[in-house]
Amino acid sequence: MKKSYSKYIPFPGVPIKDREWPSKVITKAPIWCSVDLRDGNQALIEPMNLEEKLLMFQTLVKIGFKEIEVGFPSASETEYEIIRTLIEGNHIPDDVTVQVLVQAREHLIEKTFEAIKGAKNVIIHLYNSTSTLQRKVVFKKEMDGIIDIAVAGAKLIKELSKKVDPSTNLRYEYSPESFSGTEMDNAIAICAKVMEVFEATPENKIILNLPATVECSTPNGYADQIEYFCKNLPNRESAIISIHPHNDRGTGVAAAELGLLAGAERVEGSLFGNGERTGNVDIVTLALNMHTQAIDPQLDFSNIPAIREVYENTTKMKVHERHPYAGDLVFTAFSGSHQDAINKGMEYMRTSGTQYWEVPYLPIDPADIGRDYEPIIRINSQSGKGGAAYIMHSVFGYNLPKAMHPEFGAIVKNACDKAGTELSSNDIYQLFENEYLKNEYPYRLKAYHFSHESGNGHPADVFFKGTIQFKDQDYVISAHGNGPIDAFFKAFRDVSNEYELTSYDEQAISTGSDSKALAYIQIKNSNGKTTFGAGVDDDISVASIRAIISAINRLCRE
């Protein structure tokens, strides 16, 4: 039986020898052109209305796009309306060029010229389809006929340009649409003819845009096409080579990156990869990939959440949770070992004075793109000891001693297993509070008093007196010690003498306008079993006593 995959025609490859792109690296940002308002918009279930287009345009300008394809003005009245609104409403900054798309057809070209009246900087983007398949099944024409269409379109544009007010700075772009499915020598031949019509020179370059209208090869195949095109195009120095990858195979970003290595100087794409079918190349990812390689992307994505909000509201599309840089979950680690490594990386960033971003598992500093550290670590049953301690530190400012991490981590893990869901930061705090700070059974500190008594015949200088409730019985205890903890431990021997102190840590925590003392105490019982307790109070001596009682209560419960 014939297998379903056998009906496909594999990508034929490009006759390129000594390809150079594999040994190149990207060193600078390309010229960016947003096609959100054209390719992106035409692919929406519900295209943007005028207000939404305007908001998207303003957002693109704010991000730093200097070339923005605003539509296909001859395609419909709404497309025409947006460009007129932009021009008449003075929405286009002087350093921004608006690009308009048009097919190589006379009446459409004429309408396009009407649409751009009064604009300062315009790129007229002419296209016609050139692929082997479209020639065969759509146009039923040989390549010469396809070249004639492009040449006729270019000639008409050239002619109509003469009538455009000289205050308009007009440039030209030509796309052999479905370039990725076109024989390279045919793509070069048609572009060379269009260049001749437009009389492109190194001072007055044409933009030749080479779309992977349908992505039909591994990204290296596209890179080969671009390098072959660049090397064989006559008068190469008179053209800006632009790429326009789509994402049918899910490798639009990789194709764009390799296309840049292969000689492209300009990229057309959209925010978060919106566009026909699987989308255009995602400029957010492309630009931030450069950012993480210490290259200035020349686009400002320092507030990704705000850009994402505009995108989602105007396109009614959603950014996927795992979308690079922008997805809800991309700065979240669930796995314990990842959490631990991130935790250590963050600590290293705080303490080492390094000038680089050196945090495992996080290729970018979330703060660079307006995202928070807070959701980096989320806690579920996969999480390890470091995760809960990280939340306590990063969200609540509690610096649990290192030796306490496994103990508290196990408490949290247990709670996650029981709940069967992720725990929020507040859930984790509640666990800490119930387990340590509000742990008042079987022992409870009912009353206490410390006095400092040096020079009265005692070598020690702190006296503790207090009332300890054990279940429903009260014990009044007192003792001298060489410090508050020592005095309390000695006094507590009247109740029980099976505990000894093994470690002590303290810190200040701020609670609104004032600060409190927090003590972490580890104790050992006569069987050698250790456990932690924690206590909080205005007074550090009292916080320590509360922490000791918290630890004893925890040991009593086991």
> Which spans of this chain sit near ligand KIV (rule: CB under 6 A)?
39, 101, 127, 175, 177, 209, 211, 213, 244, 246
Chain centroid, CA 21 distance in Å = 28
Contacts of 453 (CB under 8 A, 6+ apart): 461, 462, 463, 480
Are 348 and 396 in contact by the 8 Å Cβ rule? The answer is: no
Q: Which does 67 bind (CB under 5 to 8 A by kind): ligand KIV, Zn ion, none?
A: none
Shortest Cβ distance from residue 127 to ligand KIV (Å)? Answer: 5
Are 107 and 131 in contact by the 8 Å Cβ rule? The answer is: no
Q: Distances in Å between the alpha carbon of 551 and those of 380, 445, 521?
A: 26, 13, 7
Shortest Cβ distance from residue 336 to ligand KIV (Å)? Answer: 45
Are 244 and 214 in contact by the 8 Å Cβ rule? The answer is: no
Which C-beta is closer to ligand KIV: that of 279 or that of 384? Answer: 279
Which C-beta is closer to ligand KIV: that of 80 or that of 488? Answer: 80
Shortest Cβ distance from residue 36 to ligand KIV (Å)? Answer: 12
Which C-beta is closer to ligand KIV: that of 270 or that of 381? Answer: 270
Shortest Cβ distance from residue 268 to ligand KIV (Å)? Answer: 7
Residue among 193, 171, 140, 142 nearest 69 (CA): 171
Which C-beta is closer to Zn ion: that of 52 or that of 215? Answer: 215
3-state secondary structure of 176: strand
Residue 78, number of CB atoms within 10 A of its CB:
15
Q: Which does 177 bind (CB under 5 to 8 A by kind): ligand KIV, Zn ion, none?
A: ligand KIV
Q: Which does 72 bind (CB under 5 to 8 A by kind): ligand KIV, Zn ion, none?
A: none
How many Å apart are CA 343 and CA 385, to the nearest integer?
11
Shortest Cβ distance from residue 275 to ligand KIV (Å)? Answer: 8
Shortest Cβ distance from residue 209 to ligand KIV (Å)? Answer: 6
3-state secondary structure of 421: coil
Shortest Cβ distance from residue 137 to ligand KIV (Å)? Answer: 17
Q: Which residue is nearest to Zn ion (CB)?
A: 39
Which C-beta is closer to Zn ion: that of 125 or that of 308? Answer: 125
Shortest Cβ distance from residue 103 to ligand KIV (Å)? Answer: 9
Which C-beta is closer to ligand KIV: that of 71 or that of 484? Answer: 71
Shortest Cβ distance from residue 145 to ligand KIV (Å)? Answer: 19
Binding residues for Zn ion, rule: CB under 5 A, are 39
Number of H helices, E strands in the chain: 17, 14
Which C-beta is closer to ligand KIV: that of 206 or that of 485? Answer: 206
* Residue entry with tokens 């020690």: 460
Shortest Cβ distance from residue 120 to ligand KIV (Å)? Answer: 23
Shortest Cβ distance from residue 56 to ligand KIV (Å)? Answer: 17
Which C-beta is closer to Zn ion: that of 39 or that of 52? Answer: 39
Q: What angle do CA 272, 276, 279 make, to 5 degrees?
A: 30
Q: Which amino acid is at 140?
A: K
Which C-beta is closer to ligand KIV: that of 182 or that of 285? Answer: 182
Q: Which does 52 bind (CB under 5 to 8 A by kind): ligand KIV, Zn ion, none?
A: none
Q: Which does 371 bind (CB under 5 to 8 A by kind): ligand KIV, Zn ion, none?
A: none
Which C-beta is closer to Zn ion: that of 100 or that of 437? Answer: 100
Chain centroid, CA 199 distance in Å = 43
Which C-beta is closer to Zn ion: that of 267 or that of 362? Answer: 267
How many Å apart are CA 334 and CA 499, to the nearest integer?
37
Q: Which does 175 bind (CB under 5 to 8 A by kind): Zn ion, ligand KIV, none?
A: ligand KIV
Shortest Cβ distance from residue 76 to ligand KIV (Å)? Answer: 16
How many Å apart are CA 330 and CA 333, to the nearest integer?
8
Contacts of 38 (CB under 8 A, 6+ apart): 69, 70, 71, 72, 99, 101
Contacts of 228 (CB under 8 A, 6+ apart): 14, 15, 16, 184
Q: Distances in Å between the alpha carbon of 315 and those of 62, 78, 283, 369?
A: 18, 16, 16, 21
Q: What angle do CA 239, 244, 250 make, to 5 degrees?
A: 150
How many Å apart are CA 405 and CA 391, to the nearest integer?
11
Q: Which does 491 bind (CB under 5 to 8 A by kind): ligand KIV, Zn ion, none?
A: none
| Ramachandran angles phi, psi of 475, nearest 5° | -125, 125
Are 109 and 144 in contact by the 8 Å Cβ rule? The answer is: no
Shortest Cβ distance from residue 88 to Zn ion (Å)? Answer: 28
Are 184 and 217 in contact by the 8 Å Cβ rule? The answer is: no
Q: Which does 127 bind (CB under 5 to 8 A by kind): Zn ion, ligand KIV, none?
A: ligand KIV
Q: Distances in Å between the alpha carbon of 204 and those of 112, 125, 162, 266, 389?
A: 21, 15, 16, 16, 61
Which C-beta is closer to Zn ion: that of 161 or that of 278? Answer: 278
Which C-beta is closer to ligand KIV: that of 42 or that of 235? Answer: 42
3-state secondary structure of 92: coil
Are 489 and 523 in contact by the 8 Å Cβ rule? The answer is: no
How many Å apart are CA 245 and CA 30, to the nearest integer?
14
